[in-house]
Amino acid sequence: MNTNSITKRSMGAKIAQIVLGLMFLVFGLNGFLHFIPAQPPSGAAGDFVMGLFKSGYFFPFLKGVEVVCGILLLVNRFVILALLILAPIIINIFLFHLFLGIEGLPMSIILIALLGYLAWTRKDAYKHVLAA
């Protein structure tokens, strides 16, 4: 592998990390500040979201975690930990849109792709986590 391909992959990983960090920072802050208007989902998706909302704790906790992880990705600190924490959140976002709110599926696929790519570029860091 030549130096140029290593640099391109590193640049690609850096861009993916910044994009993912910005997405979680913006949408996490939106959970508190509501600067992006959105219609509540209807049907089963609405019932699911309303149940989580009525718990009183879930969305503040989730959005707080998203903000913190977004910042960690943007400042390039504890990236491995941030990706590990975001993995179940991203998988849940994908499954929610796959089964309940299909209109958000393209964005959730982008999230899965960014997470997968970033995890793959740091696969050596996850060897101990995945060891039996």
Residue 1 lies in a domain: no
Which pLDDT belongs to residue 63?
98
Residue 82 lies in a domain: yes
Residue 8 lies in a domain: no
Residue 9 lies in a domain: no
Residue 131 lies in a domain: no
Residue 4 lies in a domain: no
Residue 72 lies in a domain: yes
Furthest CA-CA distance within the chain: 54
Q: How many CA atoms lie within 13 A of 12 on its CB side?
A: 16
Mean pLDDT of the chain: 93
Per the structure, the complete domain to which residue 20 belongs is given by: 16-32+41-126
Please, which pLDDT band fits residue 132 given cuts at 50, 70 and 90? confident
Q: Contacts from 11-14 at CB under 8 Å and sequence distance 24+? A: 12/117, 12/121, 13/117, 13/118, 13/121, 13/122
Q: Is the pTM of this model over 0.75?
A: yes
How many domains does the structure of the chain reveal?
1
Residue 87 lies in a domain: yes
Instruction: Summarize pLDDT for 41-88 with one digit per residue, the tens.
Output: 999 999 999 999 999 999 999 999 999 999 999 999 999 999 999 999
Please, which pLDDT band fits residue 130 given cuts at 50, 70 and 90? confident
